[in-house]
Structures are given as C-alpha cells and as structure tokens.
Structure 1
Amino acid sequence: MTPITEVAGRRLALSNLGKVIHPATGTTKGELLHYYALTAPALLPHLRDRPVSFLRYPDGPEGQLFFTKNPPPGTPSWVRVAPVPRSDDPGARQVVVDDLPSLMWAANLVVEFHTPQWRAREPGIADRMVFDLDPGAPAGIPECCDVALWLRERLAADGLGAWVKTSGSKGLHVLVPIAPAPSGEVSAYAKGLAVEGEAALPGLVLHRMARALRPGKVFVDHSQNAAAKTTATPYTLRARAEPSVSAPVTWEEVESRRELAYLPGDIAPRLDRYGDLLAPLTDPALARPLP
C-alpha cells in the first residue's frame, strides 16, 4: 500500500520508500526523500521560478536513465507548470518547483534536478552565468580548483563575484550572479573567458570539448549558458553509484586543492556550519552587469 503523506496541506502518495536506489551505499528511496525534505530551505530558492528538467533514475543509477523536460504523466494540478516555448515545440511547458509539496512530489519520482540560467518569467534572459569545469583523467578536482581560482580572479577584474559548488560528478561549477542579459551575450562572454583561460594556462585549460585533447586537462564548458541548456541545480542528488550531492563549497576549500565530494549525510552539518553558501546567487543586489 502506498502511504499518503500530507506536506504543507497537500496530499502526496510516496511510494516504495524501502527500495534501495544506490546499492553501493544501501541508500533507500525513503532516505533520498528525507534528504530533500531536510535540505529544502536551501534548495528551493535555487529551483524557484526556474523551469526544471528531470533526469529520472527510478531503478537506481545502473537502471534506465531518462531525461525529460515535459511535465511527467500524473503531474498534480497544484504543481506549477509554465510555458517554455522551444523552436521544436512552441507550446512546450515545464514544471516549476516553487514549494515543498512540489519538491517532495518530484523527489518521489527519483530525479536529478537541472535548471537553466534564466527564470520562467523571462525565458532566455539569464540572471546567472555558469562555468562547468570538467576534468579529463588523470586530472581531477585539484586541477579544477586551480582553474576555478583563475576564473574567480579574472571575473573579479571585470567586477563580477563568483561562487562555487561540486558538480556531484567529476568536476566543479563556478556560478556568477549577473544583471539580467540575453543568454547569447552571456554565452559569448563566457566563451571569451574560456578561450582566455586556455591562453593563460595552456597546460591545464581547454575551451573545446575535443576528446583527444582532454587527458590531464580541464575543459571549461561555457555552453551551459545557452538558453536551451541546463545545469545540475545546487544540492541536487546525482545518479551516481554513490548518492553524491552537487554541494556548495567555500573558496578556502577550493584553495586547499583537496578532493571535494559530498554525500547526503554531509549536507545538514554543512548547512548548520555555513548556511547556504550560494545564497548570494539569489540576492539581486549582488548581480553585476557583464562588461
């Protein structure tokens, strides 16, 4: 029997709570839902008003994974759905997770949350810029830390502040709050910095994805600033063997160049200690125009 739970006045059917989603750690679906409920105050501001794409992995990371932008069948009527016109589908709509009941409904589907750099009310007008630092083995997090520190300094020279999180996979994401600007302009500026980074750190940075060039280097992926692209949302769980988290980190941790990897149980103590390290991204007063 599927238990019915009430979350902030909404009735939710939460299913298969004992099902093991991550065999490597024995982590159950119920534990994943508990993580999202606990982390909601920090996570929701990063989801709010942004159309969400889901990477679903209901049978765990070894099972079938499917990426969906459309509202899943059975989406409750009280979950917000916003029009997000696409070239291939002018009538397209996507879920927007604005509150705790919507978050718990989505988490019950077993998903990674991915969001664009713009808000539903202004499609294609970015208020965030992202650099996805993706290492090619044997490079790893320490090399990504070096690139993140170079980016922070370079952005500061243009009057822009930067914050950082783990991707929850192999690399880091550098995030920048910006005064709203068309995604095309943001993409062009971000690409320019990636090209500059390759010139400044030729043994370390790549601005192109060419696989043959990747070993031992860090690909600075600027493409996620395109209007059609999304990035793993802060605090989302990832469909990895272990339930890794895309976790905010401090610049001191980046300077330490140590391996940065976090599981659900690590996040509550970090929130107690630091609060939401990425809260500045949601403060319009800290957004600066691109040069």
Structure 2
Amino acid sequence: MTPITEVAGRRLALSNLDKVIHPATGTTKGELLHYYAVTAEAMLPHLRDRPVSFLRYPDGPGGQRFFTKNPPPGTPSWVRTAAVPRSDDPGARQPVVDDLASLIWAANLVVEFHTPQWRAGAPGIADRLVFDLDPGAPATVVECCEVALWLRERLAADGLTAGVKTSGSKGLHLLVPLAPTPSSQVSAYAKRLATEGAEALPRLVLHRMNRALRPGKVFVDHSQNAAAKTTAAPYTLRAGPEPTVSAPVTWEEVAERRELAFRFEAVGPRLERYGDLLAPLLDPAAARPLP
C-alpha cells in the first residue's frame, strides 16, 4: 500500500520510497525526497511563480528519461498551474511549484526541475539572464571557472551582477537579475557577450555549438535566454550516475579554479555555512536594465 503523508496540510501519496534511483551510490527515492524537504526554504524562492518543466527519470538515470511541460496525469487539483500558450497548444498550462507540498509532490515523480527566465503572467519578458558554460573534454569545470570569471567582469562593466552555480553535470551556470526585458533583447545581448568571450579567450571559448571544435574548449551557451528555453533550477537534483545537485557556489571557489561538483549530501552543510548564495539575485533592488 502506498503510504499517505501530510505535507504542509496536503495529503500526498509517496510511493516506492525504498526504490534505488542511483545504483552507483545506493541512493533511494526516500533520500531524494528528504533532500528536497530540507532544502525547500532555499529552493522554493527560485521556483516561485515560474512555470516548471520536468525531466522525469523514475527508474534512475539508466532508465527511460522524458521531458514534460504539461501537468502529469494525476496532478492534484491544489497544484497551481499557469497558462503558457504554445503554437501547437494555445491553451497549454504548466505546473508552478510555489510551496512545500507542490515541491514534494513533484519530487515524488523523480524529476529535474527546469524553469524559464520569465515568470508566469509575463511569458517572454525575462527578469534574468543565464549563461550555461559547457566544457568539451578534456576541458572540465576548471576551464569553465576561467570563462566564468571573464564573464563576471564583462557583465560588471555593464553594471550587471552575476551569481554562479554548478550545472550539476559538467559545467557552470551564471545567473544575472534583470529589470523586465523582452527575451529577444536578452538573447541578443547574451549572444554578443558570448561572441566577445570567444574573441577575448580564443583558446578557451566557443560561442557556436560546433561539436568538431568542442574538445578542450568551453561552449558559452547563450541560447537558454530564448523565451521557449529553460534552465536547470538552483538546487535541483540531476539525472546523472550520482545524485549531484545544481548547487550555488561562491566566486572565491570559482577563483580557485578547482573541480566543483556537489552531491546532495553536501548541500545541507553548505546552506548552514553560506545560506542561499543566490538569494541576492532575488532582491528586486539587484535587477538592472540591459545597457
């Protein structure tokens, strides 16, 4: 029988808690749900009011993985949804994870959380900019650190402040709070900076997805600023061999140019030590217009 648990006043059926999701580490679904429960205070502000897309991997990273934007079958009536019109479905809606009960409901599906750069009610009007730094082997996150530091300085020259997190996979994500700006303008600005990066650091940076040139370089992916694109949310678990997290890091850690990767067990102690390192990006006073 599936146990029924009360979470923040909502009754949830949490299934298969002993199921091993990450065989490499023996990590169970119950442990993943516990992770989300203890990090919810830090994670929820980054999800709040943003339509969520899910990468589902219910049988672990070695099983079937599928991306979904529509509310899954069986979504409780109390889970908020937002209208996200699409060309193929003008009436489309997506879940919005605003509270602890919704977070645990979604986590019970075994998902990565992905969000756009805009909020519900204002599709295509971005309030942040993102760069996804993706290394091509033998380059690693160490090379990403060098590129991230260059981008930080370049953004600062335009009056913009960047936060940074691991992708939870191989690279880094830079996040920049913005005054509300059409996604098309943000995309154009991000592409321009990626191009400048390739000119300033030609031995390291690619701004076009040319796989033949990827080995040893860092692809500065600016495309996730498009209105239709999404990025892995801060604190989301990733569907990799180990239960790694897209974890905020300090710029001092980036400046050390060392390997940056964190499993879910490390995130609680980091929150105790640093708090939410991306919290400043949620402050409306931090948002600046594009130059």
How would you bin the TM-score normalised by the shorter chain? over 0.9
- Provide TM-score, normalisation by structure 2: 1.00
What does residue 276 of structure 2 align with? 276
In structure 1, the partner of 2:128 is: 128
- Match of 1:131, SS state, is strand
- Following superposition, the deviation at residue 212 of structure 1 comes to 0.3
1:104 corresponds in structure 2 to: 104
Deviation at 1:276, TM superposition (A): 0.2
What TM-score do you get using the length of structure 1 for normalisation?
1.00
Give, in whole Å, the separation in 2 of the partners of 1:120 and 1:280. 21
Deviations 1:226-272 (A, max 9, x none): 00000000000000000000000000000001100001110010000
Deviation at 1:280, TM superposition (A): 1.3
Please name the residue that 2:138 is paired with: 138
Equivalent residue number for residue 189 of structure 1: 189
The amino acid that maps onto 1:253 is: E
| Percent of residue pairs identical | 84
Distance (Å, rounded) in 1 between the aligned partners of 2:209 and 2:88: 26
Q: 2:180 and 2:280 mapped to 1: Cα distance?
A: 15
User: Deviation per CA, 1:150-177, whole angstroms, max 9, x where unpaired?
Assistant: 0000000000000000000010001100
Aligned to 1:40: 40
User: Aligned ranges for residues 79-94 of structure 1 at < 5 Å?
Assistant: 79-94=79-94
Cα RMSD between the aligned structures? Answer: 0.4
C-alpha deviations, 1:192-246, integer Å up to 9, x for none?
A: 0000000000110000001001010000000000000000000000000000000
Partners of 1:9 and 1:233 lie apart in 2 by 25
1:2 and 2:2 equivalent?
yes
- SS of corresponding position for 1:25: coil
Counterpart amino acid of 2:138?
Answer: P
Q: How does 1:245-284 map to 2 (within 5 A)?
A: 245-284=245-284
1:187-266 alignment, distance < 5 Å: 187-266=187-266
Aligned counterparts of 2:8 and 2:176: Cα–Cα separation in 1: 32
1:121-174 residue CA offsets vs partner (Å, 9 max, x unmatched): 211100010000000000011100000000000000000000000000010001
How much does 1:55 deviate?
A: 0.3
2 CA distance for matches of 1:220 and 1:8? 40
- Residue 262 of structure 2 aligns with an amino acid whose one-letter code is Y
- Give the match for residue 72 of structure 2: 72
Work out the number of aligned pairs and report it. Answer: 291
- Structure 1 residue runs without a partner (length 5+): none
Runs of 4+ in 1 over 2 A off after TM superposition: none
Which secondary structure does the structure 1 equivalent of 2:194 belong to? Answer: helix
